[in-house]
Amino acid sequence: MMYRLVADIAMVVHFAFLAYLAVGGFLAWRWRRTIGLHLAVVAWGVLSVAGVDCPLTHVEDWGRRNAGQVGLPPSGFIDHYIEGVIYPEEHTNLARLGVAVLVLFSYVGYVLRRQ
């Protein structure tokens, strides 16, 4: 029971992290001090696209396997929960570009609102 709870919490935190990655720059329009946190989240997102393993993926996989469930595939969290579910796998680069444009737009707005 406890292992499954750890896995489920890791999954929820992962989704929250991805949502914050996409819209956190807009939140910084209102709460300016959060821009540093968002920059760190974006940096981690870029690193994960470049191939760095995410510790949340390992935590969730560990929890699922110890709970007697099937763990995450080697391809990871996004491939398991998002690609092929929310958008087709062949549109991965388009989805990444969309998030990048969203982040850049939010940063432009952040800078313009600061002036």
What is the rounded average pLDDT of the residues 6-35? 96
3-state secondary structure of 106: helix
Residue 71: C-alpha distances to residues 6, 8, 48, 85 (Å): 13, 12, 19, 18
* More confident position, 79 or 39: 39
Write the pLDDT tens digit of every residue in 57-94: 999 999 999 999 988 888 888 888 988 888 898 999 99
Structural contact between residues 11 and 67, judged by C-beta atoms closer than 8 angstroms: no
Q: What is the pLDDT of residue 102?
A: 96
- Is the pLDDT confidence value at 41 over 90? yes
Quote the mean pLDDT of the chain: 93
3-state secondary structure of 51: coil
Q: What is the pLDDT of residue 73?
A: 84
Q: What is the pLDDT of residue 15?
A: 96
d(Cα 26, Cα 15) in Å, to the nearest integer? 17
CA 17 to chain centre: 4
